[in-house]
Amino acid sequence: MSKPLAGRHIAVLLGGLSPEREVSLVSGAACAAALERLGATVSRVDAGRDLAQVLTALKPGLAFNALHGAWGEDGCVQGVLETLGLPYTHSGVLASALAMDKAKAKAVLAAAGVVVPGGGLHNRFDAARDHVMAPPYVVKPNAQGSSVGVFLVFEGANSPPQELAQDSWTYGEEVMIEPYIPGKELAVAVMGDKAVSVTDIVPSSGFYDYEAKYGEGGSKHVVPASIPPHIFDRALRQAELAHAALGCQGLTRSDFRYDDLKQNFVLLEVNTQPGMTPTSLAPEQAAHVGVSFDELVLWIVEDAYGRGGSGGAQSSGVPL
């Protein structure tokens, strides 16, 4: 059996500098193993500040970006790769930076017709001093992913999260505060310009936080989501619209909240570097429509080669 990536040298960027480093190491390891099964020569690169020097010495033909969070997902690493003239997976500099900045992304998405929550940015000390909106509400860093640094403030809370004012807070001086929307947590992966499916995420703890996302048994994923057909279709279309509005490429995942009692449906954020761990949502959705993990990794690589002007691998015929 021929291996579609035989003769290709691919650098898998993993680890990195963000609080999501450990998850990236798992994502990167899984993707590197898949690339090797597909025939590629793989260099595993822990992406630090010396990334440009390391890649210049390695001379790969493509960078597979398996980083999550700041530095790897916010346009910084993408800028390094652009400077090197090295094709890379997932979204480019502008889309990556825009999607990571929740406030700016919401403005662009709202202008494009995507329904997003209300709320806005606040200084973290102001947000710790007193409620800036009536509970219930959500406090989250403006430029982090994977639900790190997120707090729910429920009705009856005497004070806001005091962690916001502590010296140990490392998630930036401004926080996004949005109304809390009860109901279902939904996710939609988009490959290229086509939404894959809808997952209903049922966290064991009652909130889809970092541990629920990545801890064993932290959440149950129901795919396809058991929701009304018109909401299912709306989630697919809104995810595709959000992907396009931000200028994303390759694989993304959009996260939604759906309150079936009030029929309130909003997009929370777009992730330009979805997790590729054993519990990750995008690979699960791909598998649901008949695309194996290795086929998904191959599609991501072929998509990047096609955009990078490096001749691309031979078409895999992966169904989309």
Instruction: Identify the three-state secondary structure at position 279.
Output: coil
Q: What is the tens place of the pLDDT at every residue in 128-160?
A: 999 999 999 999 999 876 567 899 999 999 999
pLDDT surpasses 80 at 40: yes
Give CA angle at 319 (313, 320), nearest 5°.
100
Q: What is the tens place of the pLDDT at every residue in 161-193?
A: 999 999 999 999 999 999 999 999 999 999 999
pLDDT surpasses 70 at 285: yes
pLDDT for the residue 201: 95
The third-level CATH classification (topology) of the domain covering 9-90+290-308 is Rossmann fold (3.40.50)
pTM of the model: 0.91
Q: Show which residues are catalytic.
A: 20, 146, 214, 253, 255, 269, 271, 275
Please give the Cα distance from 231 to 234 (Å, whole number).
5
Burial of 289 (0-12, 13-18, 19+ CB in 10 A): middle
Give CA angle at 219 (215, 154), nearest 5°.
100
φ, ψ of residue 64 in degrees (nearest 5)? -95, 110
Q: Could you say which architecture CATH assigns to the domain 98-117+182-271?
A: 2-Layer Sandwich (3.30)
| Across 207-234, average pLDDT | 78
Q: pLDDT band for position 217 (50/70/90)?
A: low
Q: What is the tens place of the pLDDT at every residue in 100-129?
A: 999 999 999 999 999 999 999 999 999 999
pLDDT for the residue 309: 41
